[in-house]
Structure 1
Amino acid sequence: MAIELSTEIAGVDLVPIREISRVTGVNTVTLRAWERRYGLLIPQRTSKGHRLYSRNDIQQVRDIQTWLGRGVAISKVKSLLAEKKADDFIGEIDSVWVSLSAEIHEHINVFHRSRLENSLADVFALYPVEMVADYLLVPLLGRLQGDVIGNVVKRAFFTNVLQEHLQAAIYRQRQAAQGERIILVSVPGNPVYSSNLEALLVNYSCLVHQYRAEYMGHLDLKVAQLCAEALQAKIIVLIGYGPLNTGELQLHLTSWQEKNVIPVVLAGDLALVYPVLGLDESEVMHPCTTMQQVHAAINQLVKE
């Protein structure tokens, strides 16, 4: 995988941790954990002890991300990095996401808050948030969906604990965000399929990439458009899960295309619905079914 550096640091030999975090989308907490706990990174240090990373370090982070995306546990990545290239490896891998899901599900089943909090803290510290969302949390939330009483209670418990964790993480991460402004809006739909948690995950991920992300909650699409314009957003992300009002979506998204003002990233089930709305192809709309796709689209749109 080729290294993609921003123009600001392409000609610089060494960069601080906030820059490698911005370029790769890996939280600074995670980068430090990879260094301290697993020896995956060995940054240089300034006279005051601040970490400095080279282009080789950035490529190393990319390679780590590739292995994690293939389901390798972070504890096993170092030996694989030394032995073989991820692109050339064809062997079977036991997915760490399966074991992590089983661990968290066990804590949910017995309503053990402290163990669930510890598992979530460990997962977010060791793995990129987009992977945590795509491979672990969104599937978990989906399995807890439905009207079965047991699932309703378990989902409510899990939702509360996860929301508290994300809100605290968002507050901490916001201090370093100085990039483009991005507005996130949940599309109104069936309240049983609330997309608040998914939106908080996208919000946190945007902040890790150092974008100035603002989650505005559930808004009518017409109001969302006015909100994005008033806040001078570079991009708006519309997030929808569960049954959606396709008629209303078609009406407002058509209006958005005609105005052609702010790029729109469609996330979640909203991205799956988009092809059946019968809208003309547009450079304004960017449907993304996973969070990794969402941030690839955002990063590309910011460059344009």
Structure 2
Amino acid sequence: MSKQGRTSPIDEGLQHQELFPIREVSRLTGVNPVTLRAWERRYGLILPTRTDSGHRLYSQADIDDIRNILGWLERGVAVSKVASILVRSQALVEDNGDEQSARLRWRQQIHEAVLRFDGTRLHRLFDKAFASHSLDQVFGEIFMPVWHDLAAGQSGYGQRAFGQASEWLFFDQFMRSRVFVRLQLSRMPRSRSVLLAPLAGPCHELELLVTALLLGCDEVEVSVLAPGQPLQELTLICERLRPDALVLFSNQAPTAELSKRLGRLVVGLECPLLLAGKVAELAQDSLAGSPVACLGAQGSVMRQRLRQFLGGQLDT
């Protein structure tokens, strides 16, 4: 139990491998029972077990799925589209129970440090994680899931408990500062340079900075433009910086006007245009055959596709 009287969802997942009634699930996730039932009946997003009397019981895996659903809805994806996305995402999850338990314990420790506003412990955990895990694992499986869990509490799906907004702001500031330092330390002349900019719309700075860190490699230097960068002025910036490629990032769902906006931007650019983040996964089919290449949203995939594209081996 935290000092504020709340048990973290991560703690409960570790300590109680049991089934939860719908009211408890609603309290943990902020999603009201009516919505949970609708997600089950209309879309098949969650499939809880039932008691003999017909009452729904949810596992920890169901609760994790609900948080994933909230994350996609926050990015603007229609609820009717979430099921197919979850199926594709599940295929990429590690099928190693021991490793998953280890990642869960990491996230539990991070969550406990956040609840106590313990910056010193967070710094130690961050350094320790990098000593034993790859870059992709540190962010994709350990730190960013905690950040997403805390950020999900800011949605309109439920009332935030007292202190949760401060917890998320504290952790977000910590993560931005550490990622920014790693970006600065990695800056050195490379054979290729890439400019990373946010696509118009909501964009968290941390997600942009982490993407820059994941995209970089021995051959590629990544420079980041801040959230709020006007899309129409990117041609001017690219004209002066002359990058080998411009990468636009977003974790929001693509808008109906995306293809047209990117088409207008490509005309004025003297370098290739690429798309990264969840928007790249969701817009890949609609952009097939266009001058815009999609890198995806996962670190290793983005790096590989970026290297292939810069080497002329990846078609748009």
Q: Identify the TM-score tier after normalising by the shorter chain.
A: 0.5 to 0.7
Give 1:282's aligned amino acid: S
Q: Which deviations, in whole Å up to 9, do the C-alpha atoms of 1:47-71 show, x marking residues without a partner?
A: xxxxxxxxxxxxxxxxxxxxxx986
C-alpha displacement at 1:231, in angstroms? 1.4
In 2, the alpha carbon distance for the partners of 1:91 and 1:289 equals 22
Counterpart-to-counterpart distance in 2, 1:125 and 1:223:
40
Q: Secondary structure at 1:199's aligned position in 2? A: helix
What is the root-mean-square deviation of aligned Cα atoms in Å? 2.8
Measure the CA separation in 2 of the matches of 1:224 and 1:136: 33
Tell me, yes or no, if the aligned pair for 1:186 and 1:199 is still in contact at 8 Å.
yes
Mapping for residues 247-286 of structure 1, pairs under 5 Å? 247-256=256-265, 261-275=270-284, 278-282=286-290, 284-286=292-294
Displacement after TM superposition at 1:243 (Å) = 6.1
Evaluate the alpha carbon distance shift between residue 233 and residue 91 of structure 1 in structure 2; reply closer, same or farther with a 3 A threshold. Answer: closer
Q: Distance in 1 between matches of 2:145 and 2:232?
A: 30
Q: What is residue 84 of structure 2 aligned with on the other side?
A: none
For these two proteins, the number of residue pairs brought into alignment is 212
- Supply the AA of the counterpart residue of 1:196: E
- Note the alpha carbon deviations across 1:180-219, whole angstroms, 9 max, x for none: 01001112323xxx33112211222344435221101122
Unaligned ranges ≥5, structure 1: 1-68, 72-89
1:222 is matched with which residue: 215, 232, 251?
232
From 131, 137, 142, the counterpart of 1:136: 142
Taking the aligned partners of 2:295 and 2:129, their CA distance within structure 1 comes to 27
Supply the AA of the counterpart residue of 1:152. A
Q: Is the 8 A contact 1:195 1:241 kept in 2?
A: no
* Counterpart residue type for residue 212 of structure 1: E
Distance in 2 between the 1:265 and 1:274 partners? 12
Residues 273 and 230 (structure 1), Cα distance of their counterparts in 2 relative to 1, 3 Å cut: farther
The alignment partner of 2:233 has SS state of: helix
Matches within 5 A, 1:281-296: 281-282=289-290, 284-296=292-304
Amino acid at match of 1:203: A
TM-score computed with the length of structure 1 as normaliser: 0.61
Structure 1 letter corresponding to 2:273: V
| 1:174/1:280 CA distance change after superposition, 3 Å | closer
How high is the sequence identity, in percent, across the aligned residues? 19
Cα distance, 1:166 vs structure 2: 1.4
Contact 1:221 1:252 in 2 (8 A): no
Please list every run of 5 or more consecutive structure 2 residues that lacks an aligned counterpart in the other structure.
1-91, 155-159
SS in 2 for 1:182: strand
Structure 2 counterpart of 1:114, from 120, 123, 142 = 120
TM-score (norm 2): 0.58
Deviations 1:266-300 (A, max 9, x none): 22232244247x44523532140212221111111
